Chain A
Amino acid sequence: MTGAVDSTAPRAGTPRARTPHAPTPHTPKAHRARTRLLRWSPLAPATVLLLLFLAGPIGYCVYIAFTDTQLTGQESASFVGLANFRHAFGDPAFLNAVVLTLVFTVISSILGQNTLGLALAGLMRRASRPVRSLTGAMVITAWVLPEIVAGFLLYTFFERRGTLNALLGWLHLPAQNWLFTLPILAVSFANVWRGTAFSMLIYSAALSEIPQEITESAQVDGAGGLRRLWHITLPMIRRSIGTNLMLNTLQTLSVFGLIWAMTRGGPGNRSQTLPVFMYDQAFLKSLIGYGTAVALLLLLVGAVFSVVYLRLMREEV
């Protein structure tokens, strides 16, 4: 609900100008202030809009997280302090959702989309032109599909009477029922299917930036493919890896439609990641206040990931 917007919003809302500290004579100072104001004035509408439509809802969201607002069943809401957050940390369903979110993110984003994207980008550089265009088109189509459409497609793919089992039956392999037995794995695969294109595009760009001479000289020095990958390619695209991981992770953390369409967080709560849990609490149990508090905690999880990646990117390069 809020996750996707929140991550970029605070930065957009901060004022751009920095205040100089050096004492200056009166007139130039006033002059400079006026110039600054004049320079900012074309941006004024944008700033106002940002404050109104981005900062406003976020502020409102933070406020609601500290109240016991309900969708129905209660006349008025009151301020309850940290009660929602205390409730969350004592709620086994919340902790289950945190664990599932981490599992989902690690499997589908970090291991799946990221690695597969890099592999595809690497392979496509060597592939012939028709193969390259065909693969690229297919992968990107999966990415361009709206989330809910992808969700239903993959539901029909994994479903007990779905495409995958028809294929498995044709090959005389045992059938699966992952949507029921291992739903978190099914939705993770779905997310890999859908999101790999993004990583592939980023890595394709990054790989084409590596100077040919360096790779060639390593080759002349007798470095094999694996060593070239480890000592040349990966260090040189380190920054892209960081950026890609960060964007992927933040996107994956807030995936809702895909999981909702495929499993609704079930069965039981075996695929109830934080966004689904948040929706369930806020809109099905009508506890808007609590759901919003969970949304803020999700934001926190995203922030932790971002800080880790930012540190990784800063080192050594």
Chain B
Amino acid sequence: MRPTAPLILLAAAVVAAGTLTACGSGSGSDGNTVKIAFIKDTNSKVTVRDDYIRLVAKQFEKDNPGKKVRLVPIQASENDYYTKIQQMMRSPRTAPDLVYEDTFLVNSDIKAGLLRPLDPYIGKWDDWRQFEPAARAAARGQDGKTYGVPDGTDTRGLWFNKKIFKKVGLPADWRPRTWDEVLDAARTIKKKVPGVIPLNVFTGKGAGEAAVMQGFEMLLYGTGESQLYDPGSKKWVTGTKGFKDSLTFIDTVYKEKLGPEVSDALSPNIQTNVAAELLPEEKLAIDLDGSWLGQQWQKTGGGNPWPEWSTTLGQAPFPTQHGTPPGKVSLAGGWTWSVPQRSQQPDLAWKLIQTFQSRQNALEWCVRGAQIAVRKDVAADPRYLKSVPGIGFFTGLVKISQYRPALPAYPKVAAAIGEAMEAVTADDSSPDEAAKDYDAALKSLVDGKTVAKP
């Protein structure tokens, strides 16, 4: 070793120690700043949520002099967003004070001890009575405590392009009564209007929970009672005909080329594609999707405004498999504002939640975000009811909407469903094989708490 070598090493070590330790200290928590983490659309042009949050933050800073709101937008696909916030919430250094949680995940995070019960605050909050009972239960843990305040809900149904429908002779007030009628309409469009994708049903792992909820569960919940989870025995269900039939529907859509090109359907960008390109460019005739779809075509959406959407697109409820009552299916989801267990500023965070969910701001969000209102006073507001065409239609679906099993294991089960869909869509397995693989995976995911149903 050269005589100067130790010196150089020492110098390098000192420099390294300085820089390496510096990055770990100071999370900017000075008692006056409240950090708020939320998901930002992967399409940078879509800023509807960012704009709204910035608006509320400004108002909060004005009402509470000396307090600051720091926005932590996380630009990611939904799956990556969940992972990111879970990692952030694990350490007090990185935990935000307020976090935007998908109700799909909230029970899992409650079980993991990542969130803080809000009961002490909610007890003193008069506005809570304005929330629909179902909304109040949206973020209720198995311990009976409430861990989040929902900012809206959503329902699901069919969106269809009336212009394309007119061309092929389908009615503008289309109301399919069975799965077959949906498929027949798609087949007609395929035959008569080449170059247009007849029907989009989200599928596979790329679209994440969108595929499982908008795609698979909309089908599954129309095949019969408790096809996924049996509340009676508190066990997950395997081997049902409904599960296989739902996979067969997906298989039909993609094998008969009624859907988007398979490689596009399985890409993580498909949701953005559908909303930003395929529908506005009128290249997609029928889309099984959520009630919020209109949000980015509005002026406040920040994306590419598409004012004609309100006259071009029609909505129809998604039918049950054979038209059995109630004849239509919808699933409800939504997001809540929650306070992480390791938040440094829970009181301030709660104040911010109150600002978000004041009548005025809740109304603003429902209008901008094309959300289905969860506050009764907002739901009755004329400005809300007139905000976007179709909002009455989707609000009407709330009555028949079903909820996903609100259980900690659900996200893992949903991932397994996504894999089954992907295997069928990519033609790696037949629907029967994929259902069998799902049953096997399910057993290990929920520690054998399964029950076989015909």
Contact = CB atoms under 8 A, between A and B. Distances in A.
Given A42-B6, A45-B17, A267-B204, A73 B411 contact: yes
A267 B207 CA distance: 12
Contacts, number: 93
22 contacts: A42-B9, A45-B17, A49-B16, A49-B20, A72-B86, A72-B112, A73-B409, A74-B112, A75-B111, A75-B112, A180-B262, A180-B263, A264-B268, A266-B206, A266-B266, A266-B422, A266-B426, A267-B266, A267-B426, A268-B428, A283-B83, A285-B415
A45 B14 contact: yes
Contacts of A266: 204-206, 266, 422, 426
B408 interface: yes
A86 to B, nearest CB: 12
B6 A43 contact: yes
Nearest to A284: B79
B262 A73 contact: no
B428 A45 contact: no
A74 B90 CA distance: 13
A179 B268 CA distance: 13
Q: Which 6 A-B pairs have the closest CB atoms?
A: A42-B6, A180-B263, A45-B13, A73-B108, A267-B426, A73-B408
Contacts of B10: 42-43, 45-46
Nearest to B8: A42
A264 B111 contact: no
A199 interface: no
A285 B208 CA distance: 12
A100 to B, nearest CB: 14
A53 interface: yes
B87 interface: yes
A177 interface: yes
B126 interface: no
Nearest to B268: A264
A53 B261 CA distance: 47
A71 B205 CA distance: 19
Interface string B12-31: 11101100100000000000
Q: Chain B CB within 10 Å — which of A74, A180, A284 has the most?
A: A284
A239 interface: no
A139 to B, nearest CB: 30
Contacts of A71: 83, 86-87, 90, 112
B411 A286 contact: yes
Contacts of A286: 86, 108, 411-412
B113 interface: yes
B397 interface: no
B109 interface: yes
Contact of B7 (A42, A177, A179, A285): A42
Contacts of B428: 267-268, 270
Given A72-B109, A72-B114, 19 more contacts: A45-B10, A45-B17, A46-B12, A49-B16, A72-B105, A72-B411, A73-B108, A73-B408, A73-B411, A73-B412, A264-B205, A266-B266, A267-B263, A267-B425, A267-B428, A283-B83, A284-B79, A286-B108, A286-B412
Interface in B246-263: 261-263
Nearest to B1: A39
Main secondary structure of the interface of B (DSSP, over half): helix
A160 interface: yes
B348 interface: no
Nearest to A76: B113
A70 interface: yes
A186 to B, nearest CB: 11
Contacts of B264: 160
A267 B262 contact: yes
A18 to B, nearest CB: 15
A160 B86 contact: no
B349 interface: no
B286 interface: no
B423 interface: yes
Contacts of B411: 72-73, 286
B13 A177 contact: no
B266 to A, nearest CB: 5
Contacts of A283: 83
A114 to B, nearest CB: 31
A177 B9 CA distance: 51
Contacts of B408: 72-74
Contacts of B82: 72
Contacts of B109: 72-73
B56 to A, nearest CB: 27
Nearest to A282: B83
Nearest to B14: A45
A190 B98 CA distance: 41
B13 A73 contact: no
Contacts of B113: 75
Contact of B83 (A45, A160, A284): A284
Interface string A229-263: 00000000000000000000000000000000000
Contacts of B83: 71, 283-284
Interface string B433-454: 0000000000010000000000
Interface in B1-54: 6-7, 9-10, 12-14, 16-17, 20
Contacts of B105: 72
A97 to B, nearest CB: 14
A179 B12 CA distance: 44
Contacts of A87: 444
